[in-house]
Amino acid sequence: MGKGGELRDRIATVGNTQKITEAMRLVAAAKVRRAQEAVLQTRPFSETLQSVFSGLIEQREPLDLPLLENREVKKVTLLAISGDRGLCGSYNTYIIKKTEARKKELEAQGIEVEIVPVGTKVEGYFRRRGEEFPASYSCPQVPSADFASEVSREMLNNFLDGETDKVELIYTKFVSLIASSPSIRTILPLSATGIETEGDEIFEMSTKDGDFEVETTTLGAAEPKEFPKDTIFEQDPVAILNGILPLYLDGQILRSLQESVASELASRMQSMQSASDNAKDLKKSLSQTYNRIRQAGVTQEILEIVAGATAAQG
C-alpha cells in the first residue's frame, strides 16, 4: 500500500475517534443534567432539616450533643472523594494532590492521619504508597441516599467511639462546566452555628446557541421554624436533635458526592471536547497532505503522458 493509502486509512481512523469522543461528550452532558436534577430533588429535605434544627436550637440552649463536641485533636480522618475512571482531565489529580498536601500538613503538626477513599483513583494512588485504609468505597456515578448514609454511618461510628477526633471531607466543588474547585470542609464535629447559617448553591445546565452553559443560583440559609411557646414535644428536643444531626450529615455527604460527580462529568465533557477538536484538526491536516500527494501523483502522470506523446511524435 502506498503512502496515499496509509494516509487514507489514518484519516478514517481519526474520523472514527472523533465520533467516539463526541459521543462521550454528549453522554457526559446528559449525566450532568441528571446530577443537576438529583441536587434539586434533595434540596427541600436539606432546607427542612436546617429549618427544624434552627428552631429547636432556639428552644433549647446551651446544647450538649455528642456530634457537636469539640475535643483535642490527636487523630484526623480524611474522607477523600475522587472518580473511578479516567478521561476526565485533571479532576482526579487535583483531589489526590489536595489530600496529600493536607495529610503532610497535619502530620507536620504531630497529628495522626488516616484516609478513607471514595473512588478507586485516590485509593489506588495511596495504596501504591503503602497506605492502609480503615474503609474504602467506589464512587457511584449516580450517588444515592443509601450510599451516603453508609459512608456517614462509618464516619459517625468512628467519631462517637473516639477512634478519630475530627473528620474532614475533601471533594470537588462544582463551579461551572469549565471550572471546579477542590475543597476541604470539616464534617465532624458539627458546628451548630455553621448549620444555622449555611447557605447553598444550585446549578442548572441549559443550551444556548448550540453550546452548553450553566447558571448558578446562590441561596441563603433556611429560616428557623417557629414553634409556638406552648408546643409539647413527645420527645425531649435534645433527643430530636440527636436524630436530626445524622440525617443532616447524610445530606451533606450526599450533596458533596453529587457535586464531585458533576465536576467529574463536566471535566470529562471538556476533555472529550478538546479531544474532538484535536481529532478534527488532525483530520484536516491529514486530508490536506493526502490531497497534495494525490494531486502530485496526478500531475506526474500527466507529465509522463505528455512526455510519451512528445517522444512518439519526434
Give the Cα separation of 214 and 313 in Å (integer). Answer: 74
Q: Among all chains, which residue has been given the C-alpha cell 476533555? A: 271
139 catalytically annotated: no
Sign, CA dihedral 221-222-227-233, equals negative
Taking alpha carbons only, the member of 248, 65, 83, 52 closest to residue 149 is 248
Identified catalytic residue from 29, 49, 57, 88: 88
Cell of 230: 406552648
> In terms of Cα–Cα distance, which of 98, 152, 160, 164 is closest to 125?
98
Alpha carbon 196 to its chain's center: 26
Helix segments in the chain, DSSP class H: 3-59, 91-108, 120-127, 145-160, 192-197, 237-313
Contacts of 14 (CB under 8 A, 6+ apart): 279, 282, 283, 286
Residue recorded with cell 512526455:
307
CB atoms closer than 10 angstroms to residue 155: 20
202, 40 contact by CB (below 8 A)? yes
CA 268 to chain centre: 10
Residue 209 parent element (H or E): none
Q: Give the CA angle between residues 304, 308, 311 to the nearest 5°.
A: 140
Phi, psi (degrees; rounded to nearest 5) at 299: -60, -45
Question: Amino acid identity, residue 167?
Answer: V
Please name the helix (run of DSSP H) or strand (run of DSSP E) that holds residue 232, with its range, or none.
none
The residues assigned a catalytic role are 88
